[in-house]
Amino acid sequence: MATTEAADPRFAKGDRPEPSFRIEMLWTDARYRSLFLQIIAFILLMLAVGWLVNNTIQNLGRLGKDFNFGFLFTEANYDINQRLISYDSQSPNWQAALVGILNTLLVAAMGCIACTVIGVIAGVLRLSKNWVVSKLMLVYIEAVRNVPVLLQILLWYAVFIEALPKPSAFRAKADAEPEATLWFDMIAATNRGFYLPRPVFEQGMTLVGLTVLASIVLLFVFNWARKNYQNAYGAEMPGAMIALAMLFAPVAGLAIVSLLFPVALIEGGLAQIPANLGAAIGAQEFALLAKAAGAVLVGALIGLVLWRAPISSMRVLILFLPGVAVYYLLGEPMTWIYPELKGFNFMAGDDAAIYARNSLMALWLALSVYTGAFVAEIVRGGIVAIPKGQTEAAAALGLRANRIMSLVILPQALRVIIPPQISQYLNLTKNSSLAIAVGYMDATGTLGGITLNQTGREMECILLLMAFYLAISLTISAVINWFNERVKLKER
């Protein structure tokens, strides 16, 4: 096999291989070999696939089954407890599947946010010089990473249903106080889940929403303006200016908008401003006015402080200040209906209370805490990966600590952190399929669970289920690739 060319008799005789095609050139000649191999591989693959498909057809035939998705359009006949879209037992199976898919996406989104928060905090604290804190974080990370996530989900669920009171414990007895009370008189934590107060939007809430929206738009505009300013003058735009503009511009903008389109946009909410003011002054009640003024003042101060906050993401908070100000200015156009025990369960007034089921809470907490430990390691790794020289060089340039962090360390660390971070999000989403262990009705519970059982369409249901998860992961890997590509371009 390993003959050298010199020892090859063909070469010794001095005759060259014929240029014309011979059959053995298929595997000896590099020009043909790759094509030949690929064709063979293709044929083998097709044979294998054909074999599998043929087996499947035969097996289905023997059982008198067929392969069709018609069952998706027949009635599902079962109820689902948590639904983000309207659904009842008469809805078709595809709608049940959709309810499940949305539930998967909900818990995944909640989990991604929570695991990021937990992970970043734990990762940073793990690096802290504080011995107790860093060791505690080490214990958390190691304990959580080395225990199966399914077990953790079950544990959380068991804790919830065993440790929290039953709804009936909230009922006042004839001769005694109820055994359990609402948290802050707002939240009922029961072993069925957490009943939250339901917000009731009154006139003017649209305006508050619009203010927040305007703030978000403005943040982008100002970021852009700030960059231009810095490019033009070589110095940073004064922070106070931005903060104040951020605070008042939305309100002013809204006022102008509402003058132009008074009725349609604001539900008469703006009309209440003079009314409120008038009422406040006329009635000698300065409370409202003081509140509004106080809100603006405090908001401005907080805005200034936040703008100087070491972590730039804190600036996001500034977004909500104008909204808060407008909210108070309009006389708090939102009230809460607190949950109260009616019949078997808690209700908010006559409607159902907002209700985070224990299945959701257990799944969410377990997934976030579990994935958080991995995120913590990624964050720690990302920060450690930045050479110390970078910090020192930035310090030598005279940058302040927070600006070293935001301008030098984070941009580099994020490049290391984000790709594995995103794949942790992917893992979390995939792990959310363990929902069935606690009866959370996600895609695996509806499409791959009850629908499958009731229709007996294993093949179709499981294929659809896999396709759904595959679609999510392909989307996420596309995001990772896009990010890597972007980062790479910036590098050079």
Partner 1 sequence: MKTSILIGTVAAGALAAGLAGAGTLDDVKAKGFVQCGVTTGLAGFAFTDDAGDWHGFDVALCRAVAGAVFGDANAVKFTPTTGKTRFTALASGEIDVLARNTTWTLSRDVDLGFDFLAVNYYDGQGFMVPTSLGVSSAKELDGATVCIQTGTTTELNLADFFRVNGMSYEPLPIETNSEAQQNYLAGACDVYTTDASGLAATKATFENPDDHMVLPEIISKEPLGPLVREGDEKWGDVVKWTYFALLTAEEYGVTAANVDEMIANPPNPDVARMLGVEGNMGEMLGLPADFGAHAIKAGGNYGEIFEAYLTPLGISRGLNKLYTEGGLQYAPPFR
Partner 2 sequence: MTQGPDAEHSGDPVVVTSAPTATRVASDYAFVAEGQIPPAPPPPGSSGPLLWVRENLFPDLLNATLTLITIALLVWMLPGIYQWAIGHAILDANSLDECRQRMDELYGEGERGACWAIINERIQQFLYGRYPEELRWRPTLAFLLLFPAAAPVLFSRPAQPILVFFAVVWAVWGFSAWWPDEGFDAMTAALILGPPLIALGLARIIPPVRRFLLVFSVLFPAVAYFLIWGGSIWGPILVVATPVIAYVVYWLVERMLDDTLGEELANTLAMIASIFAVAFWLLFGVAAVDEALTRAVADTRIPDRVAMLDQVIADPEAEDAARAAARRERSDLLALDEQRAEISGLRLALEKLSTESVATPEGAKPVADFVHEDLDASPELAAASMQALSPEDQDLAEAYQTTESRLIGEQTRIWTIYKNFGRVGIEQVESAQLGGFLLTLIIGVTAIAGSLPIGILLALGRRSGLIFIRMVAVTIIEAIRGVPLITLLFVASSLLNYFLPPGTSFDIILRVLILVTLFASAYVAEAIRGGLAALPKGQYEAGDAMGLTYAQSMRLIILPQALKISIPSIVNIFIGVFKDSTLVSIIGLFDPLGVIAPILADSRWQGIYAETYVFVAALFFVCCFGMSRYSMYLERKLKTDHR
| Residue 38 in tokens | 């690929």
- For residue 488, the tally of other CB atoms under 10 A from its CB is 10
By CB under 8 A, residue 192 contacts partner 1: yes
By CB under 8 A, residue 175 contacts partner 1: no
Q: How are the residues of the chain apportioned to helix, strand and coil, as percentages rounded to the nearest 5?
A: 70, 5, 25
For 353, which DSSP code? P
Q: Pick from partner 2, partner 1, none: which does 465 bind, CB < 5 to 8 A by kind? A: partner 2
By CB under 8 A, residue 129 contacts partner 2: yes
Q: Which of 148, 238, 262, 310 binds partner 2 (CB under 8 A)?
A: 148
Q: Which is nearer to partner 2, 128 or 223 (CB)?
A: 128
Q: Which of 63, 176, 232, 260 binds partner 2 (CB under 8 A)?
A: 63
| Residue 171 in tokens | 């009922």
Q: Which is nearer to partner 2, 77 or 473 (CB)?
A: 473
CB contact at 8 A, 216 and 323 = no
Q: What is the DSSP string of 116-132?
A: HHHHHHHHHHHT-S-HH
Q: Which of 14, 274, 282, 343 binds partner 1 (CB under 8 A)?
A: 343
Q: Which of 166, 308, 486, 488 binds partner 1 (CB under 8 A)?
A: 166
Q: Which of 1, 2, 30, 63 binds partner 1 (CB under 8 A)?
A: 63
Q: Which is nearer to partner 1, 174 or 396 (CB)?
A: 174
For 157, which DSSP code? H
Stated as kind and residue range, the H or E segment containing 255 is: helix 239-260
10, with CB counted inside 10 A (0-12, 13-18, 19+), is exposed
Residues 67-126 that bind partner 2 (CB under 8 A): 125
Residues 71-130 that bind partner 1 (CB under 8 A): 77-81, 88-90
Site string for partner 2, 150-179 (x = CB under 8 A): xxx-xx--x---x-----------------
Q: Which of 74, 81, 89, 128 binds partner 2 (CB under 8 A)?
A: 128
By CB under 8 A, residue 477 contacts partner 2: yes
Residues 3-42 that bind partner 2 (CB under 8 A): 3-4, 24, 27-28, 34, 37-38, 41-42
Q: Point out which span in 2-10, 191-199, 239-247, 280-288 binds partner 2 (CB under 8 A).
A: 2-10
Minimum CB separation from partner 1 for residue 452, in Å?
8
- Torsion angles phi and psi, residue 82, rounded to 5: -105, 115
Q: Pick from partner 2, partner 1, none: which does 74 bind, CB < 5 to 8 A by kind? A: none
By CB under 8 A, residue 434 contacts partner 2: yes
Q: Compute CA 462 distance to the chain's CA centroid, rounded to the nearest angstrom.
A: 25
Span between the terminal Cα atoms of the chain, in Å: 46
Q: Which is nearer to partner 1, 458 or 485 (CB)?
A: 458
For 166, which DSSP code? P
* 334-337 and 198-201 beta bridge pairing: antiparallel
By CB under 8 A, residue 482 contacts partner 2: no
- For residue 354, the tally of other CB atoms under 10 A from its CB is 15
CB contact at 8 A, 100 and 442 = yes
Site string for partner 1, 300-319 (x = CB under 8 A): --------------------
Q: Which of 145, 226, 291, 403 binds partner 2 (CB under 8 A)?
A: 145
Amino acid sitting at position 415: R
| Residue 10 in tokens | 């063909």
By CB under 8 A, residue 134 contacts partner 1: no
Q: Strand (E) positions, 136-225?
A: 188-190, 193-196, 198-201
By CB under 8 A, residue 62 contacts partner 2: yes
Distance CA 290, CA 264 (A): 30
Cβ-based neighbours of 469, under 8 Å, separated by 6 or more: 429, 430, 433, 443
Q: Which is nearer to partner 1, 191 or 473 (CB)?
A: 191
Distance CA 469, CA 204 (A): 41
Q: Which of 219, 225, 436, 480 binds partner 2 (CB under 8 A)?
A: 436
Give the interface with partner 1 as residue ranges (CB under 8 A): 63-65, 77-81, 88-90, 158, 161-162, 166-168, 191-192, 342-345, 347, 358, 436-437, 439, 441, 445, 449-450, 452-454, 456, 458
